[in-house]
């Protein structure tokens, strides 16, 4: 950053309504001497003690407001004389802030002292805003609603000060939108000022770097209360070179908007030597619109990318739920419940379980076998007696005879050959297996004869042929008819 060169201007106007001008201003292009004068739009080099701009907006009616603003400007000019701006004062940011705040408080005390001595000025007060250009920085101190702006062709217009007003407090508390603050009916109520007898002035402070091509603007509320910030930005953008012409255009815009108050502006343009700003990707050809700084553009880009992502997600979800349903193949019927092969598997497992249980009962209870043999011999005697009397055994009795004839007959044969009563559990394993095989076959045939029809009306018949005199019949295809035990014939 090289030597800073700048141009300055200052203008004021009474407006269209007021008869007296209560505003005052101060411009000093070189604080190194005590001449305190400047030439409109003359290019100057920034000296070692800097340059100063001040705007004060008096209030109190009649001549009191004018007195208060003049006292403020005179006090500031006194404190910014060359002999008071020592090396200790301009050493760093903290020392500059402390000195500027002290100067504002001194102006407040001067106004209050005058009010006590002169009853005609009782209740007078003023706002004040001041900008000190020093060592590549601009230091701003203010009290009230007079404003400081910075405009640059790359970043647009930004407000450096913050109003001490009732409306600004509503905005800060979220009770009022910043865009609607301009039209609020109580926008003229201020919360801080110089000369308020209830409290000592409390100025605020801010420091910013100076940029090449930047314009520093101080104004009373006769400008910012009559035209919006975007209109101020448009005027400055159209008149960025000549500060006197720019000031005249601003005052004219305020007068065209009504000119209800005094209008005062001071301007300073940094011609060269300031910091070079990073140009954001914005359209600088638009007029009448405040352009946002680079950090705000990045935030907008983040919101834009987030919106695109959400839109894509919504389209994907919509497509998923709106796609046509897959066709259902009605030719393939899946069995429900124990049908088909499942039924046959269950039947086979049941038969095998029955065979296993019968085999175990034979192996574990030889005495029961002997009892069955005795029952058989008794049944044979009854059948022979029945035959002699002309009575034929039933099919069930014939099957029972077949079922119980295998194991006992083999046991008898072994006892006849050895001449000793045998325990079936001691029979040779090969002989036992043969007996079990015959017993399993007989049990399987007997179990299959008593099967009920499977689901779906399918008849399972494992009998090799129908025995004469058998009265058991299974019927199929007759609605409301089930298998009966010899009580109903086919129709």
Tens digits of residue pLDDT in 327-362: 555 454 444 444 555 656 766 677 777 666 655 555
pLDDT surpasses 60 at 440: no
Domain-located, residue 108: yes
Percent of the chain whose pLDDT exceeds 70: 61
State which of 253, 271, 299 marks the end of a domain.
299
CATH code at position 77 = 3.60.40.10
Tens of pLDDT, residue by residue over 192-212, are 999 999 999 999 999 999 999
pLDDT for 161 equals: 97
Map the chain to HEC letters.
CCCCEEEEEEEEECCCCCCCCCEEEEEECCCCCCCCCCCCCCEEECCCCCEEEEEEEEECCCCHHHHHHHHHHHHHHHHCCCCCCCCCCCCCHHHHHHHHHHHHHHHHHHHHHHHHHCHHHCCCEEEEEEEEEECCEEEEEEECCCEEEEEECCCEEEECCCCCEHHHHHHHCCCCCHHHHCCCCCCCCECCCECCCCCCCCCEEEEEECECCCEEEEECHHHHCCCCHHHHHHHHHHCCCCHHHHHHHHHHHHHHCCCCCCEEEEEEEEEECCECCCCCCCCCCCCCCCCCCHHHHHHHHHHHHHHHHHHHHHHHHHHHHHCCCCCCCCCCCCCCCCCCHHHHHHHHHHHHHHHHHHHHHHHHCHHHHHHHHHHHHHHHHHHHHHHHCCCCCCHHHHHHHHHCCHHHHHHHHHHHHHCCCCCHHHCCHHHHHHHHHHHHHHHHHHHHHCCCCECCCECCCCCCCCCCCCCEECCCCCCCCCCEECCCCCC
State which of 279, 299, 319 marks the end of a domain.
299
Tens of pLDDT, residue by residue over 211-230, are 999 999 999 999 999 999 99
Tens of pLDDT, residue by residue over 289-314, are 334 444 545 667 777 888 888 888 88
Average pLDDT over residues 465-485: 40
pLDDT for 306 equals: 82
Same domain for 266 and 407, yes or no, is no
Helix, coil or strand: residue 219: strand
State which of 244, 270, 299 marks the end of a domain.
299
Domain-located, residue 326: no
> Domain range spanning residue 440?
375-380+397-449
Domain-located, residue 349: no
Tens of pLDDT, residue by residue over 23-81, are 999 999 999 987 877 889 999 999 999 999 999 999 986 568 999 999 999 999 999 99
Domain-located, residue 324: no
Q: How many domains does one find in the chain?
A: 2
Tens of pLDDT, residue by residue over 242-254, are 999 999 999 999 9
Domain-located, residue 467: no
Domain-located, residue 336: no
Domain-located, residue 284: yes
pLDDT surpasses 70 at 438: no
Of how many residues is the chain composed?
Answer: 491
Domain-located, residue 62: yes
pLDDT surpasses 70 at 427: no
pTM: 0.59
């Amino acid at each position: 950053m090289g030597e800073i060169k700048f141009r300055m201007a200052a203008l004021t106007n009474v407006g269209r309504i007021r008869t007296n001008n209560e505003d005052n201003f101060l411009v000093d292009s070189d604080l190194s001497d005590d001449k305190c004068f400047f030439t409109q739009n003359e290019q100057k080099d920034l000296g070692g003690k800097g340059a100063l701009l001040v705007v004060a907006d008096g209030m109190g009616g009649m001549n009191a407001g004018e007195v208060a603003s003049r006292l403020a400007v005179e006090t500031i000019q006194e404190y910014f004389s060359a002999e008071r701006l020592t090396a200790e004062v301009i050493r760093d940011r903290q020392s500059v802030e402390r000195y500027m705040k002290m100067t504002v408080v001194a102006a407040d005390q001067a106004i209050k002292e005058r009010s006590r001595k002169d009853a005609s000025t009782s209740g007078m007060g003023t706002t004040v805003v001041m900008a000190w250009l020093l060592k590549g920085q601009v230091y701003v101190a203010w009290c009230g609603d007079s404003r400081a702006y910075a405009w640059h062709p790359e970043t647009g217009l930004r407000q450096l000060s913050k109003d001490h007003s009732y409306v600004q407090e509503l905005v800060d508390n979220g009770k009022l939108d910043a865009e609607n603050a301009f039209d609020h009916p109580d926008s003229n109520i201020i919360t801080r000022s110089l000369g308020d007898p209830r409290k000592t002035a409390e100025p605020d402070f801010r420091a910013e770097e100076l940029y090449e091509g930047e314009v520093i603007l101080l104004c009373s509320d006769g400008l910012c209360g009559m035209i919006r910030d975007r209109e101020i930005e448009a005027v400055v953008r159209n008149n960025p070179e000549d500060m006197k012409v720019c000031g005249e255009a601003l005052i004219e815009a305020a007068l065209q908007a009504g000119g209800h108050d005094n209008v005062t502006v001071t301007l300073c343009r940094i011609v060269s030597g300031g910091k070079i700003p990073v140009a954001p990707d914005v359209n600088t050809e638009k007029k009448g619109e405040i352009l946002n700084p680079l950090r705000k553009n990045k935030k907008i880009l983040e919101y834009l990318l987030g919106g695109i992502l959400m839109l894509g997600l919504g389209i994907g979800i919509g497509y998923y739920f709106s796609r046509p349903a897959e066709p259902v193949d009605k030719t393939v019927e899946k069995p429900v419940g124990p049908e088909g092969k499942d039924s046959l598997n269950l039947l086979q497992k049941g038969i095998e379980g029955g065979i296993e249980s019968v085999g175990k009962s034979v192996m574990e209870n030889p005495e029961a076998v002997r009892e069955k043999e005795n029952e058989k011999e008794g049944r044979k005697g009854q059948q022979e007696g029945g035959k002699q009397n002309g009575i034929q055994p039933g099919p069930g009795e014939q099957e029972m005879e077949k079922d119980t004839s295998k194991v006992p007959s083999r046991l008898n044969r072994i006892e006849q050959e050895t001449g000793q009563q045998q325990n079936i559990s001691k029979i040779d394993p090969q002989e036992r297996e043969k007996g079990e095989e015959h017993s399993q076959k007989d049990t399987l045939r007997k179990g299959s004869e008593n099967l009920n029809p499977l689901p779906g009306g399918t008849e399972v018949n494992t009998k090799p042929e129908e025995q004469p005199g058998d009265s058991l019949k299974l019927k199929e295809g007759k609605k409301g008819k089930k298998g009966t035990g010899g009580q109903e014939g086919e129709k």
